[in-house]
Chains A and B, each alone.
Chain A
């Protein structure tokens, strides 16, 4: 059994689990944060994307023990003070989700994508960057629209603050 300590959504957490436990199962089962989903076992679908030390990571492709000492943000930690993160708000405004199952991973991927590209994102880049996230409901049309809108808004906001 492994003893795990990490910071999740700004809070120090710890727990014990089987050495072979994947980070996604530690997050879901030990921490009860069920917003991070499991859609496959081959690191293809992206429903389990979280942020680990500021980088987007598929939490099904890393052991919980490998994440010990790290700082994790899950979908539950994105909205602040009851206000949706601009990416979450854009997904709602543009109908970028239907059944909601891939949505947490999509949103976490999108936040990371916008952090790296800023408002320079274009449709082709967004589509290429979504290669690791599968959605079966939306045909991606509105997800792409939502990410571009959020990027424009967040880029604009950053410029205004500068």
Chain B
């Protein structure tokens, strides 16, 4: 592999700037004449806007202008859209209500943007925003998705009677019902998946710059996919045509899904820059982030899992209600459908599956993809059900899983997915060995002597990553293709720049993508620059989410490298008067195999650009591009085991060990992969133990709108993790990689809840398992 090639534990190239305060995030950007925006937001969860009076605000010191939704509408700025069409089972298209970047008639959640103040400074803008008088006529509120579907409830959008967006199904209902009717045992569970706030540490920000000389816009923004932002802002929001709009996502401080979407604020900053004639910067504060960043999860499900007399699963039936909030965010419709129900087979051979999903509007912030996006919801549901079933059937959790594992590949599930490779028992065995599962009984007895309740739980997850084959997602309703692009530019001195449509916001692409080049050509990674996040530098790309940068983004780089390699070999063969099939590239040299003839890499590159002596008919230069469209999803899988001690007097849970055994296929940089798992585990443990977004059901006020109210995982909430990997390479991409960004957040919540419920002897526990809930459940069990 070489010291910097594929598989090497290389320290990150990007670290120096982050460690020395030289990172360049959107809020760090400053341009001459720049002014500041503060949004006027609705304090009501549901209300008609009767009037907006900005007279006093406009007269305040430093205020340049106050703009509202009527002006935005008059200027032709379009509605925000959901980019994935889902049809209900009756064939009707999803009911998408209008989402104005600035609400002009109705506000539908607390935080809905109503107007924007542009002023010389943030303080002046904030003062003026408080002086904008908005006269509201409050309307009744509904925040609970189950309640919102009932008759007589407040109606959010006229397009969606009873707040129902779509009523969708996947799988064979008749076969599933028949199998349940014939089952030897049916396990029934109600599953709540708690609503979360993504909480990237960098709050969202946007800087809109309109250049009247060229009628051109530049947008710096906290985006995971700047090209998609440009496409959508051009094609749907009418901000500017693509050739007049440059979107730059510089260093981005975490995303976890929340920075995939195009929010009202970046559109408004661009529009306001043209209206006011000055560059306009907006930076979110944390309370605004809690109010307006797309939330995650928020599912209510009922489950029936049927078993035959040999404990084989014969059917799975799931009914889910998913809360999508007040508006349909960009990918909100695909999360509880094609990213959720398609994973309900888990690691198990289940002959019949049927899922019904209803999505619902409520007076809450929009809900969209958050780390894992649908797959954590599927995994939590399945693995809590498996645990419950094992307890009911009197089997060990491992035994029930072993009985039902898929063991031959490829495997076609009844819910679309075709698993290409995997070895689930290997992960299970690795995790059980690492956790010393067999020694648990002794540890439990020892804890018992100290008055502590000790429990152990496992979770076997699978996810679909490497989003995604374009024609497949197109047939399922996606508005875009999910390929990736790359361009490899070899400079005349042999240094290399790689332009990628993937975007790094913590994943370390500047290092791992350079490792691919180092591996291929034997050049040091310091001679390779990875360029991303700027629509002027990279032609097109689909960005980073769904653990797609390795499987799709790197595969595009690999494809472009193939073309560079082929041309480099032709040049070298010509220079050495050898046959190109005899040329090998090693340690930065192009050699004629079996001889001592060689040309250094830089000399070949220089020859490509001097063009004094190239093969007949060859174009000068050395620059190649590629688009890579995957042929299938990838299927990372693994087994997580959590061991806890619960203090029966306080209900406090301590995680005494957490083991992760993952199969990510081939690995480019194990250090970075481990870091991704650690971070995912922390977010999953946060969901299971600490985090939860709460709205007041009567008035729709967000009760968890700061770090004093929303419990983020801190260092002393978490243990050090034991992580390991096994490898069944992915057969469907050139690098054999599967993706590792979301696994931790997908696999960990059920392992933790299975462990706590094991400890307290009561299976009725919902996330987050706060000390109060655990105490109550433990006492209810006795």
Binding site for B on A (CB under 8 A): 18, 20-21, 25, 28, 32-42, 44-45, 47, 74-76, 78-79, 84, 88, 91-93, 95, 97-104, 107, 123-124, 126-128, 130-131, 133-145
Contacts and interface: CB of A to CB of B under 8 A. Distances in A.
Closest 3 CB pairs of A and B: A35-B21, A101-B253, A100-B18
B234 to A, nearest CB: 28
Contact of A34 (B14, B21, B121, B199): B21
Interface stretch (B376-384, B504-512, B524-532, B617-625): B504-512
Nearest to A47: B201
A134 B16 contact: no
Interface residues of B, number: 60
A25 to B, nearest CB: 8
12 contacts: A40-B707, A42-B707, A44-B706, A74-B21, A79-B20, A95-B671, A95-B672, A98-B506, A98-B508, A99-B506, A100-B18, A138-B675
Nearest to A142: B675
Interface in B684-728: 706-708, 712-716, 718, 720-721
Nearest to A36: B21
For A78, A91, A138, the residue with the greatest tally of chain B CB atoms inside 10 Å of its CB is: A138
Interface in B240-287: 251-254, 256, 283, 285-287
Contact of B714 (A92, A95, A131): A131
B706 A33 contact: no
B506 A88 contact: no
A42 to B, nearest CB: 5
A103 B18 CA distance: 7
A42 B715 contact: no
B202 A37 contact: yes
B744 to A, nearest CB: 8
Interface stretch (B22-30, B81-89, B105-113, B295-303): B22-30
B202 A39 contact: yes
A40 B201 CA distance: 8
Contacts of A35: 20-23
B679 A92 contact: no
Contact of B506 (A38, A44, A100, A144): A100
A92 B508 CA distance: 12
Interface in B114-130: 121-123
Contact of A91 (B19, B22, B674, B708): B19
A128 B30 CA distance: 37
A41 B716 contact: no
Nearest to A88: B19
Contacts, number: 186
Contacts of A137: 201, 254, 506, 675, 679
B203 interface: yes
Interface string B155-182: 0000000000000000000000000000
B714 A76 contact: no
B716 A131 contact: yes
B597 interface: no
B200 interface: yes
Contacts of A74: 21
Given A99-B252, A126-B715, A136-B200, A45 B707 contact: yes
A123 B720 contact: yes
Given A35-B20, A39-B202, A88-B19, A99 B253 contact: yes
A97 B683 contact: no
Given A92-B15, A95-B672, A137-B254, A143 B715 contact: yes
SS class of chain A's interface: helix, strand, loop or mixed?
A: loop
Given A95-B675, A100-B14, A100-B251, A134 B712 contact: yes
Nearest to B672: A95
Contact of B707 (A20, A44, A143): A44
B11 interface: yes
Contacts of B23: 35, 100-101, 103
A45 B122 CA distance: 21
Contacts of A20: 123
A101 B25 CA distance: 9
A136 B21 contact: no
Contact of B721 (A32, A103, A139, A143): A139
Nearest to B11: A92
A113 to B, nearest CB: 11
B607 interface: no
A139 B253 CA distance: 15
Contacts of B25: 34, 37, 101
B252 A144 contact: no
A102 B21 CA distance: 11
Given A45-B201, A126-B715, A141 B21 contact: no
For B15, B505, B506, B507, the residue with the greatest tally of chain A CB atoms inside 10 Å of its CB is: B15
Contacts of B200: 99, 101, 136
B716 A128 contact: yes
A75 B21 CA distance: 6
Contacts of A128: 715-716
A87 to B, nearest CB: 9
B678 interface: yes
Contact of A142 (B18, B21, B678): B678
B14 A130 contact: no
For B22, B252, B713, B720, the residue with the greatest tally of chain A CB atoms inside 10 Å of its CB is: B720
Given A35-B20, A35-B22, A45-B201, A98 B254 contact: yes
B149 interface: no
Contacts of B14: 100
For A28, A78, A136, A138, the residue with the greatest tally of chain B CB atoms inside 10 Å of its CB is: A136
A135 B686 CA distance: 12
A101 B675 contact: no
Given A20-B123, A127-B716, A102 B11 contact: no
For B12, B253, B682, the residue with the greatest tally of chain A CB atoms inside 10 Å of its CB is: B253
B532 to A, nearest CB: 14
B517 interface: no
B751 interface: no
A20 B126 CA distance: 13
A42 B21 CA distance: 22
B239 interface: no
Contact of A92 (B12, B285, B678): B12
A99 B715 contact: no
A42 B709 CA distance: 11
A138 B19 contact: no
A18 B202 contact: no
A89 B605 CA distance: 35
Given A20-B123, A134-B707, A84 B201 contact: no
Given A101-B254, A138-B675, A138-B679, A39 B203 contact: yes
A64 B22 CA distance: 22
Interface string B659-684: 00000000000011011001111110
Given A84-B16, A134-B714, A139-B721, A98 B251 contact: no
